[in-house]
């Protein structure tokens, strides 16, 4: 998982530089300089939650947190990721849920994330929307609502790419690539894209990264 962790750390380093500039602006005359510690919130599903990581310290969120703080950045992390979650689970409080779709989890959604006054929100929902058969239109609509809230609050964000998953059909695996391209097209520099690096040519998990378990996101 070195490639994945490296990509994440590069992205976080870039965004935290921006965050620190926003948090620690040059004060005016007689105003004490702010020493706020940047807050990072993670929204996502099983890989972000650390499901299957042994020991749990090896989960990517924990690796990133320890590495970022070891390098002197000093950020506070809140991990709200939950196994099996999709974009619907992290929609804001009061969202009108379509029929046969899960309701937002008010303890682990975008509204909760923003309540921490974060400098950065990372969103990692790599495969469950596709696994549950959601359309590209509804997935992208959900992302649009979430990112609108982030932009309105002037909070930086990173959307993680889809990840390979050993679905039984090529067509389903190819949907991961199509969705990934749509997210990249819509959000460009806000996307941390590592789908191709982790995949075979047909978007199965590259054997060097696979642990033989297809239940989870990655």
- CA distances to 19, 61, 74, 181 from 191, rounded to whole Å, are 17, 17, 23, 10
Output phi, psi for 120, to 5 deg: -150, 135
- Decide which of 131 and 6 is more confident: 131
Residue 156: what are its φ and ψ, rounded to 5°?
A: -70, 155
pLDDT at 216 > cutoff 70? no
Identify the band that residue 35 occupies on the pLDDT scale cut at 50, 70 and 90. Answer: low
Q: What mean pLDDT do residues 144-159 have?
A: 97
Given the structure tokens 């972000």, which residue do they identify? 48
Domain assignments of the chain as residue spans, ordered by start: 2-21+38-198
Return the pLDDT at 110: 98
Average pLDDT on 65-81 reads 86
Percentage of residues in the chain with pLDDT exceeding 70?
79
> Using 50, 70 and 90 to split pLDDT, how confident is the model at 24?
very low
CA angle 118, 48, 82 (to 5 degrees): 90
The set of residues, in sequence order, having a beta carbon less than 8 Å from that of 208 and lying 6+ positions away, is none
Give pTM, 2 decimals: 0.82
Least-confidence region, from 28-32, 92-96, 209-213? 28-32
In whole angstroms, give the CA distance from residue 1 to residue 5. 6
Q: Specify the pLDDT at position 56.
A: 77
Please, what CATH class does the domain formed by 2-21+38-198 belong to?
alpha beta
**pLDDT bucket at 3, cuts 50 / 70 / 90:** very low
What's the half-sphere exposure (Cβ side, CA atoms, 13 Å) at 154?
4
Tens of pLDDT, residues 154-201: 999 999 999 999 899 999 999 999 999 999 999 999 999 989 989 999
Does the pLDDT value for residue 99 go beyond 90?
yes
Please name which of 39, 38, 134, 40 lies closest in space to residue 91, comparing C-alpha atoms. 134
Q: d(Cα 5, Cα 99) in Å, to the nearest integer? A: 37
Q: Locate tokens 């924990």: which residue?
A: 62
DSSP lists the bridge partners of residue 158 as 122
């Amino acid at each position: 998982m070195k490639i994945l962790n490296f990509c994440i750390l590069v992205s976080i380093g870039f965004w935290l530089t921006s965050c620190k500039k926003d948090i620690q602006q040059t004060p005016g005359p007689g105003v004490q300089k702010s020493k706020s510690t940047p807050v990072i919130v993670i929204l996502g599903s099983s890989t972000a939650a650390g499901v299957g990581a042994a020991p749990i310290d090896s989960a990517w969120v924990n690796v990133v947190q320890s590495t970022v703080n070891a390098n002197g950045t000093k950020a506070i992390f809140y991990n709200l990721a939950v196994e099996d979650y999709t974009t619907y689970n992290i929609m804001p409080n009061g969202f009108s849920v379509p029929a046969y779709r899960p309701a937002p989890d008010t303890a682990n959604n975008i509204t909760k994330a923003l309540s921490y006054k974060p400098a950065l929100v990372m969103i990692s929902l790599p495969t469950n929307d596709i696994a549950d058969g959601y359309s590209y239109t509804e997935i992208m609509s959900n992302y649009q609502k979430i990112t609108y809230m982030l932009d309105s609050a002037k909070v930086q964000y990173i959307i993680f790419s889809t990840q390979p998953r050993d679905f039984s059909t090529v067509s389903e695996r190819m949907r991961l690539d199509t969705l990934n391209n749509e997210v990249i097209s819509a959000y460009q520099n806000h996307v941390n894209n590592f789908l191709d690096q982790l995949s075979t040519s047909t978007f199965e998990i590259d054997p060097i990264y696979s642990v033989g378990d297809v239940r989870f996101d990655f």
